[in-house]
Amino acid sequence: MSLDALRDADGWFRILAIDHRDSLRAFLAPHDPDSVDAATLTAIKIDLARAVLPFATGVMLEPEYSIPQLLEAGVVPAGVGFIAALEAQGYERSALAGFNVAASEGSLAFGGPDTAHTVPQLITGRLAYLQYQQPETQDCVLVFAHDAGQGFTVIATIAVAQLNARLSGLLTPQDDLQTTLICSPLGWGDLNGNGRPDLAVSLMWANHLTGSEVHLFEVADDLTVTDLVADLPGIVSPWAFDPAEDVLTVFDLDWAGHDCLYPPLAVAWVYGWRAGRYVDVMAERDFSGYLQSLEDAVRAGFGAPFNPYLAIGPLTQLLAVSERIGERRAGWQRYTTLSDLANFPGTDAESAAWLKSDVAHFARAMQTGAPFTPNDFCSGP
């Protein structure tokens, strides 16, 4: 089956991912993941499939708790394809048997990877990665170890809450809010091609909101561990992270947090590895086709009343992306042509006010030379 079979009529993938095993156990029972039995995992996956798959084009499954069980239960509708993980869950633990790690935070200590509290670990050559979860805060401690020939010794312990202020705030205990954090190592590699091993770790959290980001840790020749994405101006999303690509898509949180639109505006930079660091390479990429698709989306509404929930997004994306590739003035000219209310006869007063507010907001930025920023005026039909 080709991937085209997993697309809907508009070309979108609508995939339900329920191939989780150990991470699902950790989510359901953070203090004792091993207490979650196979029957519980299968029952949850069947319930999710029954509720969601009628609206999906595909589903990600695994061979232990879902593929035969879901097919036997008859909850995979005809025409819905599945993508299967072929490997069993878990990693080789023998090389680290009896190995103990003390975290760098105060006196908090953890058992070795052969204890009941082990979470995923990855070993490549003489490098090892482990992680532990603090039950009080849900914070993950990421542990890097090296074997110089006499057994593994710790070279770095990194608490997720220490990575940035955003994660620190999320994981600070609050009386009325508990954040659940799932940390998932994505595997050792050399993403930037500089000959040094690096490991990507996906961080997914949920409280009354949800969010996720990927951090990329590189081990230098002197065994220093560095987060290569720490200084980027936004987040690397797991949903846009591709280890096969030589660039990172970095999403701007100011635009993603725009109060007026849902789904959020996915305004991003493209960063590539140059001269020992990740730098903005937007100007090296061809965005002409993408910009044209945004213009086409707005023009599709010409001749009808302006619908801000359909048009504000592509209009703003066109302006923001044009600025980031060095075509600010051309993007502004394109924007003003498309946003002319004469293109949208019969527009109601509220929708017109929203569009006029956006145009005035961005016009002020053009006049002053300030960067384009989100306009938080919200109204609509």
Task: Pick the closest to residue 121 from 152, 83, 150 (CA basis).
Answer: 152
Mean pLDDT score, 137-158:
83
* pLDDT confidence tier of residue 120, bands split at 50, 70 and 90: low
246 vs 75, 242, 249, 289, CA distance in Å?
39, 9, 10, 21
Average pLDDT of the chain is 83
pTM metric for this prediction: 0.69
69-101: pLDDT as tens digits: 888 888 988 888 877 765 555 444 445 555 555
* pLDDT confidence tier of residue 186, bands split at 50, 70 and 90: confident
More confident residue, 380 or 294: 294
Contacts 24+ apart (CB under 8 A), 255-264: 255/316, 255/320, 255/374, 257/374, 258/374, 258/376, 259/374, 259/376, 259/378, 260/312, 260/354, 260/374, 260/375, 260/376, 260/377, 260/378, 261/309, 261/312, 261/313
How many CA atoms lie within 13 Å of 77's alpha carbon, on the beta-carbon side? 14
Q: Rounded distance, CA 121 to CA 115, Å? A: 13
What does the domain layout of the chain look like in residue ranges? 3-84, 99-230, 255-381
Phi-psi domain of 98 (left: phi exceeds 0; alpha: psi -120 through 50; beta: other): left
Q: Rounded distance, CA 32 to CA 40, Å? A: 14
The dihedral through the CA atoms of 190, 191, 195, 196 has a sign that is negative
